[in-house]
Homo-oligomer: A and B are copies of this chain.
Amino acid sequence: MGGAAIRVLPSRAARAVNLLRTVQYTHPPSCPCHSNPNHHHATPSAASTVSRFADRASSLTGSGRRGYATPRDPAQQKEYAFEMAASSIRFGPGVTREVGMDLRNMGVKRVCVVTDPTVDRLEAMRQVREALDGQGVEYRVYAGVRIEPKDYSIKEAIEWARPYAPDAFLAVGGGSVIDTAKLMNLYTCYPDADFMDFVNAPLGKGRPVDRKLKPLIAVPTTAGTGSETTGTAIFDLASRRAKTGVAHRNLKPTLGICDPLNTRTMPAAVRASSGLDVLCHSLESWTAIPFNERTPRPTNPILRPAYQGANPISDIFSLNALRQTVKYLPRSVRDPDDMEAQTEMLLASTLAGVGFGNAGVHLCHGMSYPISGQNPGYRHAGYEVDSPIIPHGVSVAVSAPAVFRFTGPSNPDRHLAAAEAFGVDISNVKRESAGDVLADALTKFLADLGDQPAGLKQLGFSREHIDELVEGTIPQARVLMLAPGLAKELEQERDQLRRLFEDALEH
């Protein structure tokens, strides 16, 4: 979103141009903030589960009805509000079959069903076809979604959808499918938009989604991305060799249909890596900077990013998702017939989706994109693919011990609470050790889960790769801005990232 625009590599002319374009959205000439005396200048406060509103609240107590601070430059002002928006969720074994009735209830005439070639052959898609046929809903299936989508694979999908002109979308698959469907919906509703218009700044222009999109129903077949609840769509921008995406809460699906029968088809390795994605979604959103530390304050609510920092509602989702993942992921990976564990993992994935969808992720995700993209040749066991692959969940979890060791001092209480969720007795742990204790708990959890690399070295990375990994991380401004303790000054940030990657070589 626009907020990310302040973080830009000065050496790259192209980015500067993009930045200027972005500024048009975040700082319109007639800034509505200056006509808004009700915008408070909040006193900064450390995130704390105890007095999360206290500082702001006390700054208000003394003020009369109109005793508000003078507005300042909004780019300097901190945020004072948070939003919680999530797709409606339906959850239950067998609910996939209700989707035909849902689309008929919506009065929909032409549905674009989006899936990938593998899921297209699975029971989930068979159920979907039967449900649509049974209700006489007209649809066409686009089964060409690429796993880990690229900008060009998404453009192909959009070109496919435009002439069909569907009045609803139905995504059946993992995060790649749901994200692709979101973008098919977006660019079908904005037929004249340039593809980069909505892409996150600084790589794209970060234009907000200000139209109502078509209904999108998402049926996840993995317990991982939580994409069925979020307004985020991630892809590789091939020309820049960078992961980026589009993020706006108006992009979120209308309804997520979470059917534990659909996740039974995941191979064990996929269950493990998608579960690790859930783990990091919950840990990162729980430890992200608090919403009221984020700058700039948006001048219009439509500019408030979905990745807004930790807040009292996202906290509830994130911490619950963390506890559930710690409890059920090992069982789910160990036993493909443990339906209780798989059901709870699907729920955890959705809860974590609401959590990070309204708070954001930070370093594990920011660092994961170059890790996956610059893969020196690692092929993760259990993935039946022809080329090297570091699955998304593996690439986020591999740096997690290093990341939370680094972020620990920013908010020891939260890191201790997270360590407690892993079963650590924190009664005698010093607050200074909070990051280390959580890092150790994570290392042990990953080792016990099995088949996980114990650091970047086991993926084939070594010290000489680190500079490129750092440069690949820097553009992830949208998530890095939420990383507690990360410097705003570029050279300092680069040093910190370098040390983080070094620490992540082995754990």
Contacts and interface: CB of A to CB of B under 8 A. Distances in A.
A301 B102 contact: yes
Interface in A42-61: 51, 53-54, 56-58, 60-61
B91 A81 contact: yes
A79 to B, nearest CB: 8
A18 B495 CA distance: 72
B127 A88 contact: no
A96 interface: yes
Contact of A65 (B32, B90, B123, B300): B123
Contacts of A58: 339-340
A88 B58 CA distance: 27
A283 to B, nearest CB: 18
Contacts of A39: 94, 97
Interface in A100-138: 101-102, 105, 123, 127, 134-135
A92 B54 CA distance: 12
A344 interface: yes
Determine how many copies of this chain the complex contains. Answer: 2
Interface in A333-352: 337-340, 342-344, 347, 351
Given A83-B88, A101-B300, A339 B61 contact: yes
Contacts of A127: 38
Interface string A4-28: 0000000000000000000000000
Given A82-B90, A94-B68, A134-B35, A105 B60 contact: no
Contact of A93 (B36, B60, B83): B60
A302 interface: yes
Main secondary structure of the interface of A (DSSP, over half): helix
Given A101-B302, A300-B101, A301-B102, A337 B82 contact: no
- Sort chain A's interface into a size bin: 35 or more
Interface stretch (A309-317, A373-381, A392-400): A309-317
A504 interface: no
Interface in A315-368: 316-317, 320, 337-340, 342-344, 347, 351
A271 interface: no
Contact of A54 (B38, B56, B83, B340): B340
Given A35-B134, A89-B83, A316-B317, A337 B61 contact: yes
8 tightest CB-CB pairs across the interface, nearest first? A81-B92, A57-B339, A85-B88, A38-B97, A38-B94, A57-B340, A53-B343, A98-B301
Interface of A: 32, 35-36, 38-40, 51, 53-54, 56-58, 60-61, 65, 68, 80-86, 88-98, 101-102, 105, 123, 127, 134-135, 210, 249, 260-261, 300-302, 311-313, 316-317, 320, 337-340, 342-344, 347, 351
24 contacts: A32-B134, A32-B135, A35-B134, A38-B127, A54-B340, A57-B260, A57-B339, A58-B339, A60-B261, A60-B339, A61-B338, A81-B91, A81-B92, A81-B98, A83-B91, A84-B88, A84-B89, A84-B91, A88-B249, A91-B311, A98-B301, A312-B347, A316-B316, A316-B320
